[in-house]
A and B are shown apart, each in its own frame.
Chain A
Amino acid sequence: MERVPVLKIGDILLVSIQIDMEDQVALQLQEDLADRIVATGCHGVIIDISALDIVDSFVGRTLATIASISRVLDAETVVVGMRPAVAITLVELGLSLPGIRTALNVELGMELLARHRAEEFTDLDELGDEDEADTPAAAAS
């Protein structure tokens, strides 16, 4: 069975899905990621789905589960690079993937994670408004 590689970059695990997301592949990825988060102690996970043409309800739910699992393991998950067509289909299906953070591309996703980490360490009293950080800021100049 095909496996999705999990790459470690600094404090972040990068998963770039380049193959068709079958149910088994999705479940395997969920397991692999949980193992890797614990093994590496990373605090961020970026899942790049820019190569995916189809995101069905199962894959959508698996992504939500992965986000929940990594949150339990103290790692933030960002799903990046969703295609417009995929987003439109998900909306038409009524799936809004609650609990998943998203960013337009890997770069903005890394920025989002960095900001989130910075917030956690410097602004402990403002942790309550995490939802505010849902959207990444423009490229810092």
Chain B
Amino acid sequence: MALSTEEASRFAGLLQENEDALIGAWTDRVAETLRGRLSRVELQRQTADLYKAFQQALAGGAAGINRDEAAELRAQLSELSDGRARQGFSANETAVSIFAVKDAVLKVIGDDTAALLSFIKLSSFVDEAALFTFENYTRTREGLIADQAEQLLELSTPVVKLWEGVVAVPLVGTLDSARAQVVMERLLQTLVDTGSPYAIIDITGVPAVDTQVAQHILKTVVAARLMGADCIISGIRPQIAQTIVALGIEFGDIATKATLADALRYVLNKNGARKPRER
């Protein structure tokens, strides 16, 4: 039940005639749902822009939201939903901003039966516009979540220098494959950049160690060894030590220490024991 061209242009005319009243009514309706989280002036400006885009689309005889004539409207809707998604408005509040135009137009039409029939068609056009907005809103939200996950990954894997020639990686949080990969690359690159022959992997902040996590840690240690650096694993809590033994995980000849302090002392001792022999 798409709008015919003359119906569309009639609505365009209607929108033109009642511009101020309609924008006012629309803004009021939206302001109700947003409960003052957006200033009246800002909202008025947004609504007016959207209103113009609607009018333009209808004047062009757009029968659906995907037509070329509605390109400007689509751009406006995208901008609106992007903004709302970033400002933390709910999906409902965003959709209502579009649906509210129906209430406003209905008030202007009144009891005219013929106009009501074509209003139903306009209504489905507005629904399409709202759906478009909704989809765009979801996409923006998903993008935000993906960005944040990436940032979290970056933030959660620092490599710190503990001593001359000793770097440490304090692991915090669950270690999945993606994170293990980032940790490995970051650690190995730091070894190259700093020329540190010792690395301490501290797993105090890792809530659980299963065979997969152990596998990731072992791979990192072997890769570091291939490059000529020695890895020490520290921060093994009693509970985790029990799990490791129960699972039958073998750390082989990799040094494991209970605390970071022990690991550092061990490395320094190893260094110190060698020095006299060099002479």
Are A140 and B275 in touch, CB under 8 angstroms? yes
Are A84 and B278 in touch, CB under 8 angstroms? no
Please measure, in the bound complex, the distance between the C-alpha atom of A129 and the C-alpha atom of B270, giving whole angstroms: 13
B165's nearest neighbour on chain A, judged by CB, is A138
A interface, how many residues as a size bin? 35 or more
Residue B35, interface by CB 8 Å: no
Q: A104-B192, A115-B274, A123-B277 known; A82 and B226 CB under 8 Å?
A: yes
Question: Which one, A82, A115, A137, contacts B270 given CB within 8 A?
Answer: A137
> Chain A residues near B165 (CB, 8 Å)?
137-139
Nearest CB of chain A from residue B271's CB, rounded to whole Å: 5
Are A102 and B197 in touch, CB under 8 angstroms? no
Question: Which one, B184, B229, B271, B278, contacts A118 given CB within 8 A?
Answer: B278
Chain B positions 227-262 with a Cβ under 8 Å from a chain A Cβ: 227-230
User: Interface 1/0s, chain B 151-180, versus A by CB < 8 A?
Assistant: 000000000000111100000000000000
Are B226 and A135 in touch, CB under 8 angstroms? no
Are A88 and B271 in touch, CB under 8 angstroms? no
Q: A137-B270, A138-B198 known; A118 and B277 CB under 8 Å?
A: yes
Please measure, in the bound complex, the distance between the C-alpha atom of A103 and the C-alpha atom of B165, giving whole angstroms: 13
Residue A96, interface by CB 8 Å: yes
Are A104 and B197 in touch, CB under 8 angstroms? yes
> Chain B residues near A86 (CB, 8 Å)?
226
> Chain B residues near A56 (CB, 8 Å)?
none
Are A107 and B195 in touch, CB under 8 angstroms? yes
Are B185 and A103 in touch, CB under 8 angstroms? no
Q: A84-B189, A102-B228, A114-B278 known; A138 and B222 CB under 8 Å?
A: no
Are A91 and B228 in touch, CB under 8 angstroms? no
Are A122 and B184 in touch, CB under 8 angstroms? no
Nearest CB of chain B from residue A42's CB, rounded to whole Å: 20
Chain A positions 75-99 with a Cβ under 8 Å from a chain B Cβ: 78-80, 82-84, 86-88, 90-92, 96-97
Please measure, in the bound complex, the distance between the C-alpha atom of A136 and the C-alpha atom of B223, giving whole angstroms: 16
Are B197 and A91 in touch, CB under 8 angstroms? no
Chain B positions 124-145 with a Cβ under 8 Å from a chain A Cβ: none
Q: A88-B184, A96-B225 known; A108 and B277 CB under 8 Å?
A: no
> When A and B form their complex, what is the total count of cross-chain residue pairs whose Cβ atoms lie within 8 Å?
98
Please measure, in the bound complex, the distance between the C-alpha atom of A101 and the C-alpha atom of B225, giving whole angstroms: 9
> Chain A residues near B224 (CB, 8 Å)?
87
User: Interface 1/0s, chain B 36-70, versus A by CB < 8 A?
Assistant: 00000000000000000000000000000000000
Are B223 and A91 in touch, CB under 8 angstroms? yes
Inter-chain pairs besides A104-B192, A115-B277, 6 sampled, C-beta below 8 Å: A82-B228, A84-B191, A87-B226, A101-B228, A114-B278, A115-B274
Interface of B toward A, CB cutoff 8 Å: 163-166, 184-185, 188-189, 191-192, 195-198, 219, 222-230, 270-271, 274-275, 277-279
Interface of A toward B, CB cutoff 8 Å: 78-80, 82-84, 86-88, 90-92, 96-97, 101-105, 107-109, 114-115, 118-119, 122-123, 134-141
Closest 10 CB pairs of A and B: A138-B165, A84-B188, A102-B228, A103-B228, A135-B230, A87-B223, A87-B226, A91-B223, A137-B274, A82-B227
Would you list 29 pairs from A and B whose C-beta atoms are within 8 A, ordered by A residue?
A78-B228, A80-B228, A84-B188, A87-B188, A87-B223, A88-B188, A91-B226, A96-B226, A97-B226, A102-B227, A104-B192, A107-B195, A108-B195, A115-B277, A118-B277, A123-B277, A134-B225, A134-B230, A135-B197, A135-B228, A136-B228, A137-B270, A137-B275, A138-B196, A138-B197, A139-B164, A139-B165, A140-B275, A141-B164
